[in-house]
Structure 1
Amino acid sequence: MKLESHLPKQSPWLYTVPLLNTILLLLVYFLLTSNFVVQSGIKVEHPESSSRLTGFDRAHIITVPAGLENAVYFDGVRSSTAELRERLKANREGERRAIIHGAKQAPHGRVIEVGNIALELGYEVAYSTVPPKS
């Protein structure tokens, strides 16, 4: 004996519209949140450069702000130079890349000193910049 459904046939749009809605929401979510990936949380004014570098998605963020004497932030936590060295040593098993957010007005020697600490410990280092205004 064959069983038959007595429910009315539904339009295929009934099932595709929620699917498209979900896909569009995910697309908007990923497009908007991709800008928050490498921001350090410490506001600095970056120098301009036309070069681009890829592959530093999960790198540690080291921030050197302007104006504060000997201030360095490692992944958003304020540190001294000695503490920065110890934290980089402790995190050597994880991602071995570092992005240095040096403020435009920060002492250049301080930014290079922080970069040299990371390089000495075997990290790949990238300096954060912004594209030039056209």
Structure 2
Amino acid sequence: MKLQRTYSPDSAWLFLAPIASVALLLMFFLLICTSLVLQPGIAVEVPYSPFLLPPQGNPLIISVTALPLPSVFLAGRNVPLTELEASLRKLHSQSHSVIVRADQWTPLWLVAEVLRQSIRQGYPVVLATQGKRS
């Protein structure tokens, strides 16, 4: 007769609790992180201005980065300046306004060109700035 010295529980139940806790932690982490990100991956330092507008409803965000390689980002993807107007035409909707987030070291001609193309497509345009410096 063979005696069993230790109790061996069903192995499926041993893996259920850790998998459930990892899944819940991952879901909680994703819910927290996605609500705090405005536009991932593009660092822009906007200039200071005392003239601040209230938040815009459902805006399109155009980010313009500074030198050495100035770039224009529309809805999170890099768009060449020559294709910006066509991309804005595809996204055209009456409920949108355009917020231009230009880095404070961006050349003025580039910011003016982005503003001109946005206005030409009929968007109300807001230039993003920061409030009081801490």
TM tier, shorter chain?
0.5 to 0.7
Deviation at residue 69 of structure 1 after TM alignment: 3.1
* Structure 2 Cα separation of the partners of residues 84 and 51 of structure 1: 27
* Structure 1 Cα separation of the partners of residues 94 and 124 of structure 2: 13
Partner residue in 2 for 1:76:
76
Number of residue pairs matched?
A: 101
Give per-residue Cα distances to partners, 1:51-100, cap 9 Å, x unaligned: 12125131000010012535100011000112211111011135331000
* Structure 2 Cα separation of the partners of residues 120 and 68 of structure 1: 28
Give the counterpart letter for 1:133 in structure 2. R
* Structure 2 Cα separation of the partners of residues 62 and 68 of structure 1: 19
* Structure 2 Cα separation of the partners of residues 70 and 123 of structure 1: 23
Gaps of 5+ in 1: 1-28
* Structure 1 Cα separation of the partners of residues 48 and 96 of structure 2: 25
Partner residue in 2 for 1:117:
117
Once superposed, which parts of structure 1, at least 4 consecutive aligned residues long, lie more than 2 Å away? 93-96
Gaps of 5+ in 2: 1-30
* Structure 1 Cα separation of the partners of residues 81 and 95 of structure 2: 20
1:1-134 matched pairs, under 5 angstroms: 33=35, 36=37, 39-41=38-40, 42-93=42-93, 95-133=95-133
Q: Kindly indicate whether the alpha-carbon contact (under 8 Å) linking 2:66 and 2:105 is maintained by their aligned counterparts in 1.
A: yes
Provide the TM-score with structure 2 as the length reference: 0.66
* Structure 2 Cα separation of the partners of residues 130 and 70 of structure 1: 21
* Structure 2 Cα separation of the partners of residues 93 and 120 of structure 1: 14
